[in-house]
Amino acid sequence: MTNDELSGLLARVALRDRAAFEQVYRATCAHLLGIAFRILNQRERAEEALQESFLSVWHNAGGFRPSVASPMTWLINIVRNKAIDALRSGRTERGLTGTLDDDALQVAADASQQPQQLLDESLIRLKIDACMADLAGQERQALALAYYRGMVHTEIAQALNAPLGTAKAWVRRGLNKLKRCLESVGVQSS
Amino acid sequence: MNYLLPERLDRLAREYALGTLAGAARRRFERVLQQSPAATLAVGIWQERLALLAESVPAMQPRASLWQNLERRLFAPGRPAAPASESPFARLARLLSGRLLGGALAGALMCALVLRTQPGLVGLETRVDVLPASYVGLLTDSAGKPAVLASSRRQGRVLTVKMLQPISVPAGQVAELWALPKDGAPAFPVGVVPVSASATIALADTSDKLFFNVARLAVSLEPAPAKPGDAPSGPFVLSGHCVKLW
């Protein structure tokens, strides 16, 4: 589905068009659940976050402006925010209660490697892997943990066994480099 | 703290978009985002960049029960499909709608009469009774029947639209609201209006900047939501005056 088609459907959702809402859901739910799952690491909680996200889509589709964001970016932001909120509100109980399902065990097995792989694949796809290769491995890893796992600076510092200030600097350098590399290949953010 | 110093804003925007801005700082910045177009824009640019990283995430099919739950929560009988929260303007619009409009006008006339004859009562007016400085538009159909009430605070960045009667929009089309400047400059698109109930439309700038010079509002049927620079492709099905309420 193209961006224009998705924008058109979201405009219909703002008009309370249920059929358009279902089309948006069918076209995007699998991709969006994947994103929520990387952050929450549990299918149940990821599906909850996705459900909350689509409630928000139904109520707030009128706030989507195609001139400001692409429809997929708009949807991804809603889902990432819901997943990150759920992650942070449930952090104290995580690991103590709840059962890990098969999907989660699979992620847990390579938890430290996977975000890095996802980032590398993205960079190749965007043709900026060579440009981003200037960054130290830890800088790329810090960026990957923050984006794909929703980690905050203290967690990144812990995961990569580095002082907090260093972890913050890695994330900052990762983002700045990403910005420059995207600009160098002419990927314009609208 | 001034959130809008360029360097600080960029730092907060990228950390918010990435998610590393957490806790109370995240909540505070979310409030800034509601007020500041500069902050929204800065965050939007980073979100657009970062969304490119999401394409490599493997898809995962939700269970069928998820869609069923959504349908039940949104569309089950007894749960209206209207937005959960209603703005003060939507409430005002609801109060002014339909048959009540006549009553309200009669009431206003009565008030005016009483105040003319007993000016001393003016002092009784409390602050909360005063409508805030706003732009208001009342659009009518070709028969002169009120169809849409649009209102926005003078410095606000959302327009509340209340449909006073449902309008029929053919499938595949949207009802686009246009602003028509006084000086005869071309109409510019404001946003898509709902077919019934009410909605809020995010504005590209503050009302005062957008509507200061606008004399009329109108609705046309368009094949897709209009983008800045577009012109109406068909006739206006609804139109009315846009006035300043202060």
**pLDDT the model gives residue B90:** 55
- Report the residue from A50, A59, A80 with minimal CB separation from B83: A59
Q: Which residue has the tokens 């846009």?
A: B242
Cα B67–chain centre separation? 28
Decide if A15 and B22 are in contact by the 8 Å CB cutoff. no
Report the candidate in B152, B155, B163 with the shortest Cα–Cα distance to residue B237: B163
Set of chain B residues whose Cβ sits within 8 Å of the Cβ of A125: 55-56
Instruction: State mean pLDDT over A38-55.
Output: 95
- Say if CB A29 and CB A57 are below 8 A apart: no
In chain A, ranges of CATH 1.10.10.10 domains: 110-184
Residue A99 has pLDDT above 70, yes or no: no
Find chain B residues with C-beta within 8 A of A5's C-beta: none
pLDDT at B120: 45
For chain A, counts of helices (H) and of strands (E): 10, 0
Q: In chain A, where does the domain assigned CATH 1.10.1740.10 lie?
A: 3-89
Hey, how many other C-beta atoms are within 10 angstroms of the C-beta on B104?
Answer: 13
Closest CA of chain B from A60, distance in Å:
8
- Closest Cα in chain B to A168: B20
Please give the residue that has the higher pLDDT: either B92 or B57. Answer: B57
Asked if A11 and B174 come within 8 Å (Cβ–Cβ), the reply is yes
* Cβ–Cβ below 8 Å for A43 and B60: yes
Which DSSP letter does residue B2 get? Answer: -
Please state, for a pLDDT cut of 70, what percent of chain B lies above it.
77
ipTM of the prediction? 0.88
What's the pLDDT at A98?
43
Q: What is the third-level CATH fold of A3-89?
A: Rna Polymerase Sigma Factor; Chain: A (1.10.1740)
Q: Is the pLDDT of residue A15 over 80?
A: yes
Which of B18, B20, B219 to mutate: most A Cβ within 10 Å? B20
SS3 A4: helix
> What's the pLDDT at A92?
47
Record: contact A16-B196, CB cut-off 8 A: yes
- Among the residue ranges B107-116, B218-227, B237-246, the one predicted with the least confidence is B107-116
Confidence of residue B81 (pLDDT cuts 50, 70, 90): very low
Of the candidates A89, A86, A92, the residue with the CA atom closest to the CA atom of residue A42: A86
Cβ of residue A50 closer than 8 Å to a chain B Cβ: yes
Residues in chain A within 8 Å Cβ distance of B224: 4, 7-8, 11
Task: Give mean pLDDT, residues A3-27.
Answer: 94
Look at residue A109 and tell me whether its pLDDT is greater than 50: no
Q: Among residues B24, B72, B58, B13, which one has the least CA distance to residue A36?
A: B58
pLDDT at B12: 94
Q: Which of A1, A28, A43, A54 has the highest number of chain B CBs within 10 A, making it the mutation to test binding with B?
A: A54
CATH of A110-184, one of 1.10.3720.10, 2.40.50.140, 1.20.1640.10, 1.10.10.10: 1.10.10.10
To the nearest whole percent, how much of chain B has pLDDT over 90? 28
pTM as predicted: 0.60
Domain definitions of chain B by residue range: 6-53, 88-244
Between residues A36 and B193, which one has the greater pLDDT?
Answer: A36
Beta bridge partners of B236: B220
* Minimal-distance CA residue of chain B relative to A124: B56
- pLDDT 10s digits, B15-61: 999 999 998 999 999 999 888 888 988 999 999 999 999 999 999 99
Mean pLDDT of all residues in A98-113: 49
Structure tokens at B25: 């700082």
| pLDDT on residue B126 | 40
**Nearest Cα to Cα of residue B224 among A59, A75, A79, A2:** A2
Residue A27 in contact with partner chain B when CB distance is under 8 A? no
Pinpoint the alpha helices (H) of B56-98. Answer: 64-75, 88-96
Interface A-B, measured as beta-carbon pairs within 8 A, has a size of 156
Under DSSP, is residue B165 helix (H, G, I), strand (E, B) or coil?
coil
